[in-house]
Structure 1
Amino acid sequence: MKILVTGGAGFIGSAVVRLAVTRGHAVVNVDALTYAACLDNVASVADSPLYAFEQADIRDRAVLDRVFAAHRPDVVMHLAAESHVDRSIDGPGDFIETNINGTYNMLEAARAYWVAEGKPAGFRFHHISTDEVFGTLGDTGQFTEDTPYAPNSPYSASKAASDHLVRAWHETYGLPVVMTNCSNNYGPFHFPEKLIPVVILKALAGAPIPVYGQGLNVRDWLYVEDHADALLLVVEKGKLGRSYNIGGENEMRNIDIVQTICTILDEKRPGNQAYAEQISYVTDRPGHDLRYAIDPSRIRDELGWRPSVTVEEGLEKTVQWYLDNEDWWRALQDRAGVGERLGVKA
């Protein structure tokens, strides 16, 4: 396939790009290179004849039309999005413009291209979203593809809106779409504003390790390379108009994630005291969802996919990657908001 990947210089998008090229697919990486993007994320495949890069903003429809015409992709994998909940609390406008209006532009550009090409049977528009659109769970239960949407943050609301647009373009215009909603990703190349990289880098710096509230929020942790594998499977074999929840089958409380990382660092890079001594409980995020958990039955039963990496294995691999790739994360420390507490303006 020739795959047009939006947001391919970001965390999840770059994992998709690397895996797709490795598997022999041609990839067109479309990325605006905003603050969380880094072309170093795809350096391992950048010299491949199968790889092309277009610096383009999905908010610019005219540029998107040019990219589609120039590269003529077989499928689209739409990952480009503003994704940090804390930033959405402080500045929701960017999330509306990119996640909603940008997705609208992508849908319209893809539809125009699909029609102009004679509506080829193999064309797919794969929209990648999040389990956060479903809101929050109590102590029991899991999200299914039929769970009602109930987003609680500007970020999740903007992603919910984009999901609805994709569904509507399929139902109204017949655009061949598939959709996925994933649980929390982690792994190599994770931009240092999310929980796991923040914990690793704060620990190494000897700084307080911030834990929101009491750290009792529960997430289902999905290793990013497992996620990329699932996404490529869905775009190839998923049923049109269907959504698939992708989970890691690895539920853990935030405080347990933090303490596990500290233990791994104690073994790999011991300091003068246990890293857990640096844990600091801070004021919770406004509207912080208590628990997410995904029922992955559909993707398992229909497509035969299950995650291959346990959270214990994935955390060890992730910590080791950050220890081995200091040049990568050092270069990002001066970007806006990195290392700061965001999301408190509410």
Structure 2
Amino acid sequence: MFTASEYHKNTGGPIEDDSAVVQDPDGEGKIVYLFLPLYQAGNLQDAINANVVNGTHFPEQEMVRLFKGTCLAVRAMHDYHAPINANASSSSGPSRQTPPTPQRPQTTHEEDDEDDEDHAMFPHPEGDGDEGYSYGGQVNVPLMTKHVVEEEGDVVFDGDEELEQHGTAVPGQTELVPYAHRDLKPGNVMISDDGTPILMDFGSTMKARIPIENRSQALMQQDIAAEQSTMAYRAPELFDVKTGQSLDEKVDIWSLGCTLFALAYSHSPFENTQTTEQGGSIAMAVLNAQYKQPSSAYSQGTKDLIDALLKVNPQDRPDIHKVIEMTDRVLRSLR
């Protein structure tokens, strides 16, 4: 890990971007520098930990405001529209997916080698091109953005590169390609210096809508979730993936419910005395939505919002637009 001063010492040049590749002065290859933003306020989990230590809690309006900012970032992922490939079949529907073929991680299931098409369901690490990603400049942008943001305050999701690799985009035409974060939790939401929540850690992110056609694919998705999605914030359908059904962006809605619960009560709804000290199963608690909201001074609107997101059946959960609408309603009631 190099500091900015060490970069300047090694290269003699100013920092003009957030990434750089330079020749190793010792002649042993190249050095890649990545410059990341420093948010002195830390993340939401840091704020929760401070509340626990100090015996305090979030003021409700501030808590719901932070939650809404997180939802806006999630909306950018769930609503991502990619340029339509000019070489695509005219019969393709708006939700068609053409994912690349990434490497499959090792699993413990022998049948994982059955279907090569399963590879397309794994998250694929994408490069950021020659320009790198920019984390500075615009304010009130809950997602890490590229250098150019069309309007100040726009929430941007970087995903164009993947679709552009597959052909020339049709000017002015896009298709909905939702992405799911799959590891939403307080520790993955930074707080910028102006108080804006910044969604981070996209290592678990993948195209949201995944049809599960056989048992091999189901087990594969369970393995991915077990490795990349934090258990106490993981949606129930990722614990027990069903054949003949589809996973979608509703996995993030469940995690948002867990996140709001944690902001309110300083822990996940499924990290309680029974599961952490008495040998209870977090997985079973999640699969049955076994949680209870402690008594608090928070409004019934906030409590109802949490309950609306923590529905075992994904079809019973609201989409991200409805979540934001419900959150706005709670905010209005607190003014």
TM-score when scaled to structure 2?
Answer: 0.21
Normalising by structure 1, what TM-score?
A: 0.21
Larger Rg: 2
User: Hey, which of these two has a bigger chunk of helix by percent?
Assistant: 1
